[in-house]
């Protein structure tokens, strides 16, 4: 009974929080004199006004979804990997290296994803190694490695990956033949979208239906009981950490192989956004999909509102923050109510 | 002066204190003795405002400070003149001594006069003849020094709340909760005279302990608790440690379990001269040797904190110890799989169960990765459900069905989940640590019966238990752990008082 009810209530919490945040922002705009109906209509048109816009929304959701999955895998297992930002960047660096320094070919983007995944996992492994060998808390080392990763990108785009044709700190363009294939001709949406959705389903099956997933869940909830039950906690945590780093690295690789086609020192990372997406998705691999769309839709809608109605696009980020705050408060409240449920004798 | 009048406290139906009365006169050191679970801690928590009594009253200092059911909070206790030094220190390691004391005090919204606090700390330390540097960092201090800071902090916090300049007032009461548990013998020798000086300066000290020699050395009077009731209260003079030990553990006649066949089973756990490394914290396990055979329950008696934790960790393979051998089971696999070792850990909510998960999932934990519960790493939930339904029925786990969370169960039924999981495969060796802790009488009896029946079916049982009565009712042999050393009591050829003396190191 409770097990069946739980996922439903999780979904209600997330949808309720998102709705509340939207209502607050639209309500605020209404007080400022904007008709709520035109705000909603213009915003929605920016997201889904045409098949092209919808494709852009999906394309922008890809890195959010991938980083959201990375965060879900780690946090569900009690591994506080806050280094998705850096792992994403290292994945992008590795992918650009494969795509611009090697030969041209249609299998190259897939090799780039593999390289990106390895690089992300390796960057996370550095943090795990510091924790195991030197006792550095993972939270701190992963955050600090994010800062280093930004500078690794800077060094690479001015050094080994620098495009000799320009003075700007950026890499060469990925040649046409080595780019991620498109899902629909005429839209920018690449097949990475399908890969990300399939990874979400795979992660869900792993968590739900495999012994590994059950062990990671137990470790996340009570590592001591896991230890006493003979589960090799250290090894499982390493698996979760490396898997999480790999997903973030693949996210970075997908973005350069399918969207930006080059890397510069002011590259945008989606690591921190991914953690927010994962929390809004209630750390459920399938819940992360709508959460990623919510974030990318807010970006697109807010930009459209700025263009058409001169409303600052920062309101999109404000809405994300409100939704996240609401979902965390609601989660804490539901836990408290849940724990005070009367026990049966 | 502090007076407890008929304090009664029950926790979800289990009586922790049954009408406890105790009076400690001004300027005396009053010992409170009792086994683990006798109710010492609960009584002190009520005095300090951490718990409220169901019935009864507490009077601190004088009769105008009479509160029914005790102070409302530690701050309220301090206002009444009562301070407490906990067994586990509560100091911030990065703070200085002065900062630690300021933290414990009340100073409204006013500024902190650092120099005045330093002077107060120096004065208090001088009174107790202690050397304390008010600017030293807590982390740089040894355990004995930290305890001095805790005592000064408690004294000053009472003084600051009452607004009196001197922390030693006739109304002041200081509770020391097992103050010597973490100290070396030298540090104990330094602490006890200071406790006497405190009393001489007018403070009333409640000295919680189960170390009889210390009580004899430092206390004027003593109250002995047993199972939540006072069994003796009076001056220490004329009371031998032997007699104290008897009062503490009781003199009920315990008939050994019906005569059993001499042990013929194969050894399931062999420990040969197990010693911890020389720099291990006290109590260091020293030359511990014993064997647990199949078809017997070997019980380890002892007051908590005499090496039980380290011993259990070695037996389970959590700490590496070549001296521990479990025939047929490699050390690193002792915890994996329920057919090897059935483990009933001390703290079921943290060490055995995942409270947020269902009964079904907790029952399959440990076996979840092997057939029929999983094939090639893929889980078969139908098998999980069938397994859970079977065990819930066989072990009569009463709750809202296999899908209910373990958190929704009562303590007794939570323990049944642990026992069902650990014992249903009839492991060769069972390790049970305080398996009835927190359970009511009926649930405790059921747990013990399960152990006896497992023994009768051929299991070797190692039982580490804090409750001597229960332990003696099921044990075939009783070993006593005191200060990291093990003694065979000779049970059932000895009497219970002998075991009590061994437990308290006065044999």
Mean pLDDT of B187-202: 88
- Tens-place pLDDT, residues B413-449: 899 999 999 999 888 899 999 998 877 777 888 899 9
CATH of domain A7-336: 1.10.3470
Which of A2, A10, A229 best tests the B interface by mutation, with the highest count of B CBs <10 A? A229
Q: Which of B356, B366, B398 sits opposite A345 (nearest CB)?
A: B398
Provide the pLDDT confidence category of residue B501 given band limits of 50, 70 and 90.
confident
Alpha-carbon distance of A90 to A125, in angstroms, equals: 12
- Tens-place pLDDT, residues B205-252: 999 987 788 888 999 999 999 888 999 999 998 888 888 888 887 765
Contacts of B352 in chain A (CB under 8 A): 225, 228
Provide the pLDDT confidence category of residue A4 given band limits of 50, 70 and 90.
very low
Tally C-beta pairs within 8 A across A and B. 79
Token pair recorded at residue B74: 């530690």
Contacts of B371 in chain A (CB under 8 A): none
Alpha-carbon distance of B404 to A1, in angstroms, equals: 8
Mean pLDDT of A31-53: 93
B335/A2 Cβ within 8 A: no
Q: Is the pLDDT of residue B96 over 50?
A: yes
Residue showing tokens 């922790």? B16
User: Considering only residues 74 to 103 of chain A, which have any Cβ-Cβ distance to chain B shorter than 8 Å?
Assistant: none
Is the CB of A337 inside 8 Å of chain B's CB atoms? no
Which of A206, A220, A227, A343 best tests the B interface by mutation, with the highest count of B CBs <10 A? A343
Q: Is the pLDDT of residue B167 over 80?
A: no
So what's the pLDDT on residue B1? 86
Contacts of A224 in chain B (CB under 8 A): 350-351
Contacts 24+ apart (CB under 8 A), A105-111: A105/A177, A105/A178, A106/A177, A106/A178, A106/A181, A108/A177, A108/A178, A109/A178, A109/A179, A109/A180, A109/A181, A109/A257, A109/A258
Alpha-carbon distance of A72 to B253, in angstroms, equals: 59
Contacts of B338 in chain A (CB under 8 A): none
Distance from CA of A278 to the nearest CA of B (A): 20
Provide the pLDDT confidence category of residue A39 given band limits of 50, 70 and 90.
very high
Average pLDDT of every residue of chain B: 85
A218/B365 Cβ within 8 A: yes
Alpha-carbon distance of B467 to B135, in angstroms, equals: 45
Alpha-carbon distance of A189 to A197, in angstroms, equals: 13
Token pair recorded at residue A129: 């190694």
Task: Average the pLDDT over each of B34-38, B203-207, B302-306, B448-452 and give the range with the smallest value.
Answer: B34-38
Q: B218-231 b/e with 16+ CB inside 10 Å = b?
A: bbbbbbbbbbbebb
Mean pLDDT of A279-292: 96
Q: Are B471 and B301 in contact (CB under 8 A)?
A: yes
Average pLDDT of every residue of chain A: 92
Q: Which of B369, B379, B403 sits opposite A2 (nearest CB)?
A: B403
Alpha-carbon distance of A256 to A185, in angstroms, equals: 19
DSSP string, A57-111: HHHHHHHHHHHHHHHHHHHHTT-----HHHHHHHHHHHHHHHHHHS---TTHHHH
Contacts of A283 in chain B (CB under 8 A): none
Enumerate the β-bridge partners of residue A171. Answer: A162
Identify which has the larger pLDDT, B379 or B304. B379
DSSP-derived letter for residue A264 is B
Token pair recorded at residue B317: 């393979």
Q: What is the CA radius of gyration of chain B?
A: 25
Alpha-carbon distance of B431 to B439, in angstroms, equals: 18
Q: Give the neighbor-by-neighbor strand order of the sheet with B477-482.
A: B341-344, B429-433, B460-464, B296-301, B477-482, B485-488
Distance from CA of A5 to the nearest CA of B (A): 11
**pTM for this model (two decimals):** 0.79
- Tens-place pLDDT, residues A173-207: 999 999 999 998 889 999 999 999 999 999 999 99
Distance from CA of B273 to the nearest CA of A (A): 25
So what's the pLDDT on residue A3? 39
- Tens-place pLDDT, residues A71-102: 999 999 999 999 999 999 999 999 999 999 98
Most confidently predicted of A284-298, B404-418, B436-450: A284-298
Distance from CA of B502 to the nearest CA of A (A): 31
DSSP string, B149-172: HHHHHHHHHHHHHHT-SSS--TT-
Q: Which of A1, A211, A343 sits opposite B409 (nearest CB)?
A: A343
Contacts of A3 in chain B (CB under 8 A): 358, 403
Q: Which of A227, A230, A343 sits opposite B408 (nearest CB)?
A: A343
Token pair recorded at residue A228: 């006493």
Provide the pLDDT confidence category of residue A1 given band limits of 50, 70 and 90.
very low
So what's the pLDDT on residue B339? 62
Contacts of A209 in chain B (CB under 8 A): 378-379
Contacts of A230 in chain B (CB under 8 A): 333, 335-337, 366
- Tens-place pLDDT, residues B333-382: 777 755 678 999 988 889 999 999 999 999 999 889 888 899 988 999 99
Which of B344, B351, B354 best tests the A interface by mutation, with the highest count of A CBs <10 A? B354
Mean pLDDT of B389-412: 88
Most confidently predicted of A56-65, B143-152, B285-294, B418-427: A56-65
Provide the pLDDT confidence category of residue A6 given band limits of 50, 70 and 90.
low
SS3 B310: helix
DSSP-derived letter for residue A177 is G
Residue showing tokens 């301090």? B78
Q: Which of A229, A344, A345 sits opposite B366 (nearest CB)?
A: A229
Q: B447-480 b/e with 16+ CB inside 10 Å = b?
A: bbebbeebbeeebbbbbbbbbbebbbbbbbbbbb
Mean pLDDT of B259-276: 80
SS3 B324: strand
Q: Give how far Cα B397 sits from Cα of A93, B393, B443, Å.
A: 56, 7, 11
Q: Are B229 and B19 in contact (CB under 8 A)?
A: yes
- Tens-place pLDDT, residues B455-494: 999 999 999 998 888 888 899 999 999 988 999 988 888 8
User: Considering only residues 201 to 220 of chain A, which have any Cβ-Cβ distance to chain B shorter than 8 Å?
Assistant: 209-212, 214-215, 217-218
Contacts of A222 in chain B (CB under 8 A): 350, 353-355
A62 Cβ neighbours under 8 A, 6+ residues apart: A190, A192, A193, A196, A251, A254, A255, A258, A259, A292
Percentage of chain A lying above the pLDDT 90 cut? 86
Distance from CA of B435 to the nearest CA of A (A): 15
Enumerate the β-bridge partners of residue B292. Answer: B269
- Tens-place pLDDT, residues A251-273: 999 999 999 999 999 899 999 99
So what's the pLDDT on residue B223? 94
* Nearest of B365, B374, B31 to residue B179 by alpha carbon: B31
DSSP-derived letter for residue A162 is B
Alpha-carbon distance of A85 to A67, in angstroms, equals: 9
A211/B377 Cβ within 8 A: yes
Residues of B with CB under 8 A from a CB of A: 316, 318, 333, 335-337, 343, 345, 350-358, 361, 365-366, 368-369, 374, 377-379, 398-401, 403-405, 407-410
- Tens-place pLDDT, residues A98-153: 999 988 888 999 999 999 999 999 999 999 999 999 999 999 999 999 999 999 99
Q: Where are the domains of chain A?
A: 7-336
- Tens-place pLDDT, residues B11-70: 766 788 999 999 999 889 999 988 777 888 889 989 998 888 998 889 887 667 777 777
Angle at B369 between CA B363 and CA B371, to 5 degrees: 90
Alpha-carbon distance of B326 to B430, in angstroms, equals: 11
């Amino acid at each position: 009974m409770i097990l069946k009810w739980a996922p439903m209530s999780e979904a209600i919490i997330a949808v309720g929080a998102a709705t509340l945040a939207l209502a607050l922002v639209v309500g605020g705009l209404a007080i400022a004199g904007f008709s709520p109906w035109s705000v909603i209509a213009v915003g929605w048109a920016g997201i889904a006004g045409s098949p092209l816009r919808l494709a852009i929304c999906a394309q922008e959701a890809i890195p959010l979804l991938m980083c959201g999955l990375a965060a879900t895998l780690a946090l569900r297992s009690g591994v506080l990997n806050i280094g998705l930002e850096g792992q994403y960047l290292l994945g992008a660096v590795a992918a650009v290296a494969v795509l611009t320094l090697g030969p041209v070919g249609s299998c190259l983007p897939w090799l780039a994803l593999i390289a990106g995944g390895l690089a992300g996992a390796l960057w996370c492994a550095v943090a795990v190694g510091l924790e195991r060998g030197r006792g550095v808390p993972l939270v701190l080392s992963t955050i600090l490695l994010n800062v280093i990763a930004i500078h690794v990108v800077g060094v690479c785009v001015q050094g080994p990956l620098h495009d000799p044709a320009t003075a700007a700190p950026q890499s060469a363009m990925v040649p046409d033949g080595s780019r991620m294939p498109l899902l629909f001709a005429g839209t920018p949406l690449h097949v990475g979208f399908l890969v990300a959705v399939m990874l979400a389903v795979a992660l869900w099956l792993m968590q739900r239906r495999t012994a590994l997933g059950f062990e990671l869940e137990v470790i996340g909830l009570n590592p001591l009981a896991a230890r006493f039950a003979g589960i090799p906690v250290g090894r499982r945590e390493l698996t979760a950490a490396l898997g999480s780093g790999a997903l973030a690295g693949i996210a970075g690789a997908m973005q350069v192989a399918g969207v930006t086609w080059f890397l510069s020192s002011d590259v945008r990372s989606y690591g921190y956004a991914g953690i927010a997406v994962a929390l809004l998705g209630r750390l459920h691999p399938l819940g992360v999909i709508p959460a990623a769309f919510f974030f990318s839709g807010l970006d697109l809608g807010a930009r459209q509102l700025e263009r058409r109605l001169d409303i600052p696009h920062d309101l999109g980020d404000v809405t994300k923050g409100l939704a996240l705050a609401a979902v965390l408060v609601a989660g804490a409240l539901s836990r408290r109510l849940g724990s005070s449920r009367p026990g049966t004798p | 002066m502090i007076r407890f009048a008929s304090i009664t406290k029950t926790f979800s139906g289990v009586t922790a204190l049954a009408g406890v009365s105790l009076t400690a006169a001004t300027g005396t050191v009053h010992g409170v003795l009792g086994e683990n679970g006798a109710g010492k801690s609960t009584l002190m928590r009520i005095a300090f405002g951490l718990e409220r009594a169901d019935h009864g009253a507490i009077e601190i200092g004088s009769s105008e400070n009479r509160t029914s059911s005790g102070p409302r909070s530690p701050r309220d206790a301090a206002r009444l003149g009562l301070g407490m030094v906990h067994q586990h220190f509560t100091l911030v390691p990065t703070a200085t001594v002065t900062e630690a004391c300021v933290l414990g005090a009340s100073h409204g919204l006013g500024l902190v006069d650092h120099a005045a606090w330093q002077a107060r700390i120096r004065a208090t330390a001088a009174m107790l003849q202690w050397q304390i540097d008010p600017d030293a960092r807590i982390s740089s201090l040894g355990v004995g020094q930290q305890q001095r800071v805790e005592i000064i902090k408690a004294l000053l916090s009472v003084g600051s709340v009452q607004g009196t300049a001197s922390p030693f007032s006739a109304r002041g009461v200081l509770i020391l909760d097992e103050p010597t548990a973490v100290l070396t013998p030298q540090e104990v020798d330094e602490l006890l005279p200071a406790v006497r000086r405190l009393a001489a300066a007018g403070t009333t000290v409640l000295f919680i302990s189960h170390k009889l020699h210390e009580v004899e050395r430092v206390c004027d009077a003593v109250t002995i608790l047993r199972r939540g009731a006072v069994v003796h209260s009076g001056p220490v003079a004329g009371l031998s440690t032997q007699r104290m030990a008897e009062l503490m553990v009781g003199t009920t006649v315990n008939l050994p379990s019906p005569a059993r066949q001499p042990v013929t089973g194969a050894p399931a756990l062999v420990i040969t001269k197990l010693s911890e490394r020389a720099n291990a914290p006290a109590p260091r396990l020293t030359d511990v040797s014993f064997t647990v055979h199949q078809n017997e329950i070997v019980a380890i008696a002892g007051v908590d904190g005499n090496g039980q934790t380290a011993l259990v960790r070695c037996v389970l393979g959590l700490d590496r110890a070549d001296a521990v051998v479990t025939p047929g089971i490699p050390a690193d696999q002792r915890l994996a799989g329920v057919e090897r070792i059935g483990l009933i850990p001390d703290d079921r909510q943290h060490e055995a169960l995942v409270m947020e998960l269902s009964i079904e999932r907790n029952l399959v934990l440990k076996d979840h990765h092997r057939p029929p519960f999983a094939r090639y790493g893929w889980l078969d939930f139908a098998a999980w459900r069938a397994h859970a339904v079977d065990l819930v029925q066989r072990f009569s786990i009463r709750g809202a069905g296999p899908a209910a969370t373990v958190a929704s169960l009562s303590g007794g039924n939570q323990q049944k989940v642990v026992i069902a999981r650990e014992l249903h495969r009839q492991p060769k060796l069972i390790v049970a640590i305080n398996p009835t802790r927190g359970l009511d009488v009926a649930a405790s009896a059921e747990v013990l019966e399960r152990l006896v029946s497992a023994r009768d079916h051929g299991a070797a049982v190692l039982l580490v238990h804090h409750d001597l009565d229960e332990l003696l009712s099921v044990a075939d042999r009783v070993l006593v752990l005191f200060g990291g050393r093990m003694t065979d009591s000779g049970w059932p050829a000895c009497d219970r008082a002998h075991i009590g003396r061994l437990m308290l190191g006065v044999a």
